[in-house]
Amino acid sequence: MKLIIHDLTPEQAETILPKQSGIRVISDNGKIRHCVGCFGCWVKTPGQCVIHDGYETVSALLAQCEELILISRCFYGGFSPFVKNVVDRNISYSLPDFTIRNGEMHHKGRYDNRFKLSVCFYGENMTETERQTAREMVQANTVNLNGTAGEVHFAERAEDFKGVLS
């Protein structure tokens, strides 16, 4: 399974996202709530966020995907509030316990899965500094989530990703 988490408008999603089977798509329904930092997803209902708004089950989907594709407007060299919110709400893909990876502290995996992480950043006037920040952050995310590195794409308009995704 490929999992796509995106912040596109319904019209953009319709034109850009591939329509093959085996793809799960997480979109913004305008009702997502933010992570409150309670760690309930580790120590209360392990493996799932305690807020029930429909976005709490993404970490279990992460356990089943071969590739995670994040499509996000670039905010300051990082993800948009919606895409970041879904990511923040699903840290229980990892365990609370620590391990050392590349000489740094990280979390142990809850699942044996290792997905490929690919990211498409779009936006007008992205600076080269923002692109550099974004590349470095995605590299850090890949290690943090114990994934493998996919590609990081940049484009002025989300529509430009049509070819990349199909």
Partner 1 sequence: MKIALINASPKLKDSASGVILEELKGLLAEHAVTEYGFHTPALPENTEELANQDALVFAFPLYVDGIPSHLLNCMAGLEESFRKSEHPPTVYAVVNCGFYEGLQNRHALHMMRNWCEKSGLVWGRGVGLGGGGMLPGIANVPAGKGPKKNFSAALKQLAESVGTLSGGEDLFTSPNYPRIAYKTAAEIGWRQQAKANGLATKDLFQKR
Taking the complex as a whole, the smallest distance from the CB of residue 49 to ligand FMN amounts, in Å, to: 9
Q: Which is nearer to ligand FMN, 91 or 119 (CB)?
A: 91
3-class SS letters over the chain: CEEEEECCCHHHHHHHCCCCCCEEEECCCCCCCCCCCCCHHHHCCCCCCCCCCCCCCHHHHHCCCCEEEEEEECECCECCHHHHHHHHCCHHHEEEEEEEECCEEEEEECCCCCCEEEEEEECCCCCHHHHHHHHHHHHHHHHHCCCEEEEEEEECCHHHHHHHHC
Query: If binding means CB under 6 A, how many residues of this protein chain bind ligand FMN?
Result: 5
Q: Does 51 sit near partner 1 (CB under 8 A)?
A: no
Q: Which is nearer to ligand FMN, 51 or 164 (CB)?
A: 51
List the single partner that 101 binds among partner 1, ligand FMN, none, CB under 5 to 8 Å by kind.
none
Task: Give the footprint of ligand FMN on this chain (CB under 6 A).
Answer: 35, 37, 88, 91, 144
Residue numbers of the site for partner 1 (CB under 8 A)? 34-39, 42-44, 46-48, 57, 59-60, 63, 75-82, 84-85, 87-88, 91, 95-98, 104-106, 110-111, 127, 129-130, 133, 136-137, 140-141, 144
